[in-house]
A and B are shown apart, each in its own frame.
Chain A
Amino acid sequence: MKLELKGITKRFGSLVANDHIDLVVEPGQVHCLLGENGAGKSTLMNVLYGLYDPSDGEILVDGKPVVFKGPGDAMAAGIGMVHQHFMLIPVFTVAENVALGNEATKAAGFLNLDETRRKISEISKQYGFHVDPDALVEDLPVGVQQRVEIIKALVRDAEVLILDEPTAVLTPQETDELLDIIRQLKAAGKSIVFISHKLREVKEISDIITVIRRGKVVGSADPSASPTELASAMVGRAVSLTLEKKPAQPGEATFKVRDLTVVDHNGQHVVDGLSFEIAKGEVLAIAGVQGNGQTELTEAILGVQPHVTGSIILDDVELLGKSVKQVLSAGVGFVPEDRKIDGLVGTFSISENMILDLYDKPPFAQGIGMKPALIASHAEKKVEEFDVRTPSIDVAVGTLSGGNQQKVVLARELSRPLRLFIASQPTRGLDVGSIEFVHKRVIAERDNGTPVMIVSTELDEVLELADRIAVLYRGKLVGIVPAGTSRDVLGLMMAGVPEHEAELTAHKTLEGGTHV
């Protein structure tokens, strides 16, 4: 099936998310859409999948124009989509999820799930998925959930499969497995639209790359193009992909975590007996796939997790059991993983957000009053220093771009004298330019002699920033390895393989020459 998009335009009010986009997906081809977050890739695919009506332009299937009123029409036309956030119902079984919307029934509308189970095992066999049709989706690992999504599309005879940022939630090993699956699908004659901003995968899997920037197609590229070229095309200016930093000069270890255990409301040990130390002037990166206890670890340090045992010592003072306010005034700077929820108050102005944690202390407060003039001048100074692109400091923070919002959070957290700096997913959803800036500030804080803890699910970022790397898996520490550790070893450790075993396996794979 040949799929063509001609002059697709999608406007949301005055915002043009897609501007006359042309795209041709040939059968049996892996077509990558490369672009930064917010470039309009997902919007385009939602138009194609019938979730949004295009403001202008048309979609052609095998040369004939079609109109998709909803996802049902798109699926009937042979288009399947694996969304970035899976569209699976957690409390349903795999079979129920696959059946939904496409149910096989017996008389009187009674479900015939055996038929669905049969189809699932057929497809599982064909592509080597190991999926139990009767497992509850919420119990499955993310990689398997993704396969369920692929099965969902295949059961509906999809010829074109759209994968929206499919690797964002996967370990490096799961990513490799996914790429293998994509190759198989391609061999079976399916077309794949692969949406990503990760250059490595794009280069590895694609037959053709289309680069999108600010809602427009800015050109196509060959998979053999260098990463710097691709990144420059994506951002629209020359970028350097490597960070220049001096070697770390670790001092004494002032931040010590001992036997830290966090139990969630279901009784699960989400953080399980963690012990580590961070020295002054050193970056410890916490690596791991999302959902392996990183969030709970950072929140436990900050003091917002309810069931925590063990000990957290900063400068010989126990932080565990202290209120958040006490922890912050002990000199902890904290960049939360979701700036929109935990980092900022979206409807507050930039200047108000800059003093969220200092509003009640001099010099910004006096008695019960606040000092607006001082707060404003403080904000002006920080906006300047952190290069926040904004028309004014009175603009609501929620209207800024992701990169600028993150700069506001950083400006606030770094404007106090710090004894410990924690940044969780500091560059999630940022453009390449902002990433560069954030990384520089993190290293600058390290060079100031602050112990720094970075939590990141992006291996690139971990390798970029870390002086030592701690890998978490299911709340447990798999190991702490030096900065120079190879990607393969880290990838295996992120899947729970202990350090020495990971090194052996990675070594063997390399010698075997099967690794791509």
Chain B
Amino acid sequence: MSTTTTQSGGGTPAGNAPARPGKTGATGLVSWKAGIGLSLLAILGTALFGFMSNSKSAGFGIAEAANEAASSVAALVTFVLALLLSVGLGYLWFARRRPGPTSGSGLASSSGTVPGWLPASFVAAVVVLGLAALGVAKVSKITLPSAAIGWIAAVILLGLAGYTVYLTQAKRATPRWVGGTFAAVFLIGFMVWIVAGGNGDEPSISLAGLIAGSVTLAVPLVFGSLSGVLCERVGVVNIAIEGQLLLGAFSAAVVATVTHNVYAGLVAAAVAGALVSLVLAVVSIKYLVNQIIVGVVLNVLISGLTSFLFSTLLTADPDGLNKPGRLPPVDIPFLSDIPIIGPILFHQSLVGYLMYIAVIVVYLGLFHTKWGLRVRAVGEHPQAADTVGINVNRTRFWNVLMGGAIAGIGGSFFTLVSVDAFSKDMSGGRGYIALAALIFGRWNPIGAFLAALLFGFADNLQSVITIIGSPVPSQFMAMLPYALTVFAVAGLVGRSRPPAASGIPYVKG
């Protein structure tokens, strides 16, 4: 188990194209996709961040702590822990990495001895360390000059793109860090440029607020993509995530209002999502109807149904049917006092915490339990699973149902956390973005979680920037999440491999 987990699992995508030593023949096979893509983005970056920069500075506010004393203690503790963790993980990575190249004869790639989670955890620890350091130093605001940062970013971007093109020309594979660094630098350049373009002499935004908002906006996406992971891993394509979110939102609103209990609404949302899945499962598993068609039909059906009920019943009696109340945010003691990190991660509603639990449970379940092994087997090679006595269609049925329930809970976010009333089509295509997050995250719960966070970030950035005013028309900013989706799914991050039997009904014999 451990090897598969580390290869397909771990935080970062595990790179499906290992560099094969000794394969340097004249083939012209190394793809130009990365080189051309990065070059275009670098030129775009240079034009925007460099030439179109202004003389203003961009300010990034770090959130003020509610409790000064607790905050500084928490910051210090976090700083020390993160420091120890970074050093430990860094040493482990370095130590395991070294013997690689010397023993790497034939097919053994040099990274073979480094488990996939190691670099990812190291980077995470370093990020936490940096944030905690800001807290310890009690920095309240970072101010960056737009032009200087813009030009530095542009030069780095051009350099990285040039390096990639050089490598491609030399028929060598681009190392993974290039892509990651490029993305990070592009993001920093973009943020500085767009914030500096805001109104006022020294426009600024709250960094913590921006990220916290991203996590919040990502909640339904995460639930949706977890639902997708559960379904696709078992071999059923779930396009109906959108419908599950929407019906979940609707049911949560109505049930919570009628029962005067938001928790009842939460349960109702899960049941509603599972109901949508039930239709999907019965029609596609038992009657072998094309899964994508069923999913799309369900989405349209639910959109129509909820709109109809909304405009006839809910608008007629909003107080009796559409006033669910909210799930209040809950602070976790001590953790929520950590500067920046605390308000982002540990100031969530119940649904938000359920999200963390769901990600961890689905990840552990899929990759470390008997259940998960069987689920993945069914999604990869149902016939093989059948020949060892696993009931393929029953496994599929229950997994799809469970996926629906999870997506339903995600839907309750709209009516119990975000806004406390249902409105027409309020899921607004997030089910489809969740699907993209699932693919971007390579059918892995943690990958899907990170991808969903990215989409949530794009979504939130758009609204934050619109508020402070930006050089880019707001319509373009609104496109950001979707443009990002297209880029992500088109595979700038490399080829991903779906479960082999995803979307194919299983007929015995």
Contacts and interface: CB of A to CB of B under 8 A. Distances in A.
A249 to B, nearest CB: 39
A87 B8 contact: no
Interface in A242-274: 261, 263, 266-269
Contacts of A346: none
Interface in B372-422: 373-374, 376-377, 380-381, 383-391
Given A89-B381, A136-B3, A267-B29, A111 B388 contact: no
Given A96-B4, A307-B27, A70 B389 contact: yes
Interface in A58-91: 70-73, 75, 81, 83, 86-91
Given A81-B387, A100-B374, A102-B388, A267 B380 contact: no
Contacts of A75: 388-389
A98 to B, nearest CB: 10
Contact of A134 (B3, B29, B373, B383): B3
Contact of B27 (A103, A134, A152, A263): A263
Contact of A51 (B369, B391, B509): B509
Listed residue (B3, B4, B370) with the most chain A CB atoms within 10 angstroms of its CB: B370
A111 B29 CA distance: 40
B499 to A, nearest CB: 9
A113 interface: yes
A129 interface: no
A81 B28 CA distance: 44
B380 A89 contact: yes
A306 B51 CA distance: 42
A105 interface: yes
A93 interface: yes
Contact of A100 (B20, B107, B388, B509): B388
Nearest to A103: B370
Given A71-B389, A113-B1, A113-B2, A89 B371 contact: no
Given A52-B509, A96-B4, A111-B368, A90 B17 contact: no
Contacts of A87: 381, 383-384, 387-388
A89 B377 contact: yes
B107 A139 contact: yes
B25 interface: yes
Contacts of A276: none
B371 A109 contact: yes
Interface in A98-132: 99-103, 105, 108-111, 113
Interface residues of B, number: 40
Contacts of B28: 307
Contacts of A108: 369
A437 interface: no
B369 A267 contact: no
A92 B4 contact: yes
A83 to B, nearest CB: 7
Contact of B373 (A81, A86, A103): A103
A466 interface: no
A113 B1 CA distance: 7
B1 A71 contact: no
Contacts of A81: 387
Contact of A72 (B4, B7, B27, B389): B389
Contacts of A267: 17, 20, 23, 27, 29-30
A471 interface: no
Nearest to A152: B388
Contacts of B383: 87
Nearest to A156: B388
Interface string A146-177: 00000010000000000000000000000000
Interface in A266-288: 266-269
A309 interface: yes
A307 to B, nearest CB: 6
Contacts of B387: 49, 51, 71, 81, 83, 87
A490 interface: no
Nearest to A69: B389
Contact of A90 (B8, B369, B381): B381
A53 to B, nearest CB: 10
Nearest to A102: B388
A95 interface: yes
A111 B373 contact: yes
Given A111-B1, A111-B373, A269 B23 contact: yes
Contact of B390 (A101, A113, A266, A268): A101
A51 B30 CA distance: 45
Contacts of B390: 100-101
A88 B383 CA distance: 9
B369 A110 contact: yes
A15 to B, nearest CB: 13
Given A75-B388, A309-B27, A91 B374 contact: no
Contact of A109 (B2, B27, B370, B377): B370
B389 A91 contact: no
A109 B366 CA distance: 11
Listed residue (A75, A89, A102, A309) with the most chain B CB atoms within 10 angstroms of its CB: A89
B386 A263 contact: no
A248 B27 CA distance: 38
Contacts of B2: 113, 134
Contacts of B17: 266-267
B25 A261 contact: yes
A110 B374 CA distance: 12
A146 to B, nearest CB: 14
A43 B391 CA distance: 20
Contact of B380 (A92, A102, A307, A309): A92
Nearest to B8: A91
Contact of A88 (B20, B384, B509): B384
Interface in B22-36: 23, 25-30
Contacts of B368: 110-111
Listed residue (B1, B4, B8, B27) with the most chain A CB atoms within 10 angstroms of its CB: B1
Contacts of A49: 387
B385 A51 contact: no
Contacts of B4: 91-93, 96, 136
Contacts of A110: 364, 368-370
Nearest to B173: A267
Nearest to B369: A109
B385 A100 contact: yes
A105 B370 contact: yes
B416 to A, nearest CB: 30
A77 to B, nearest CB: 12
B115 to A, nearest CB: 12
A93 B4 CA distance: 7
Contacts of B508: 51
B29 A263 contact: yes
B167 to A, nearest CB: 14
Interface in B231-261: none
A92 B1 CA distance: 8
Contacts of B107: 139
A236 B223 CA distance: 63
A269 B497 CA distance: 21
A100 B380 contact: no
Nearest to B508: A51
Interface in B323-380: 364, 368-371, 373-374, 376-377, 380
Contacts of A102: 388
Contacts of A103: 370, 373
27 contacts: A49-B387, A70-B391, A71-B388, A72-B388, A75-B389, A88-B384, A89-B377, A89-B384, A90-B380, A91-B4, A92-B380, A93-B3, A96-B373, A99-B373, A100-B374, A101-B374, A105-B369, A109-B371, A136-B4, A136-B7, A261-B25, A261-B27, A266-B17, A267-B20, A267-B30, A269-B27, A309-B26
> Sorted from nearest, which 9 A-B pairs have the closest CB atoms?
A72-B389, A101-B388, A87-B384, A103-B370, A109-B369, A87-B387, A113-B1, A89-B381, A89-B380
Given A89-B377, A91-B497, A111-B368, 7 more contacts: A51-B509, A72-B388, A93-B4, A100-B373, A110-B364, A111-B369, A269-B27
